[in-house]
Amino acid sequence: MKVIIFSLKLVLLALVLFPVGVNANNYHYRVTKVAANDVLNIRAEPNSSSAIVARIPSNAVGISLSGASRRTGRSTWVKIRWQNNRGWVNRAYLAPMLAPATAKPSPMPSRPAAINPVTDNIVKKRVSGMWILECRGTSPKWSLDILPEWIRGTVGDFKTGMPITRTHQEHGLHNRIALRTEVEGANRWNKVDLTLVYTARCYNSLFNQRVTFEVKGQYNNTPLKGCCRAMRVP
């Protein structure tokens, strides 16, 4: 059985993180690592010299995977659908969203947007129907919810909340499940760095059952170790 590993400089979430038996193609993705005044090209074939069939804004969401993927050199290309456009994009420029996206992308800015720590529009608590990662551990006792764009919970006696600043996922065969997820989050005072690995057998007393992911990382300088499960908020 292939073992998977997870790390979080969280964010969106943007790692969803897919529950066992759920097809990752049912989830939506957003554009990542593209400058505010740039675009992500959709190409006719899985290589960077193929014809461009459409251009996706840097802030686009609601991108779906068809399930097809192809390795070209050192890059992995995936076939996607965005609005009425279909084609291939480099997988490195897509980040998973923990819940299906319904929002329409705003018009592409004419110049790079200023980098401001604005979090007013981020959903910072559980909402019915939202997919999240619920992570818990002991020594110290800790509990964190990884939302699509936010991390919240407690570590020891301290409550914390911060935006996700980075996510990265590695998928298994046919993209059916996230084998390794990295999430990072930070605010002015604290930072979280987590790595989740799919094992389907992680157990701790706080869950009182075996769950999908083992997790290791740290909160500031405090090591964290425990288990995570993907769940849909009732």
**What pTM does this model have?**
0.52
**Cα dist from 177 to 3, 4, 45, 124, 171, whole Å:** 12, 10, 25, 25, 6
The tokens of 150 are what?
């936010």
**For the chain, where are the alpha helices, taking DSSP H only?**
none
Q: What is the Cα 39 distance to its own chain's centre?
A: 20
CATH of domain 29-96: 2.30.30.40
Q: Which three-class secondary structure state does DSSP give residue 24?
A: helix
Mean per-residue pLDDT pooled into runs of 10, the chain (234 residues): 37 39 56 88 91 89 85 89 90 74 44 46 89 93 94 94 89 69 91 93 86 94 94 91
Say if CB 144 and CB 11 are below 8 A apart.
no
Q: What is the pLDDT of residue 161?
A: 94
Q: What is the pLDDT of residue 173?
A: 62
| Cα–Cα distance, 184 to 163 (Å, whole number) | 9
Boundaries of every domain in the chain: 1-27+117-234, 29-96
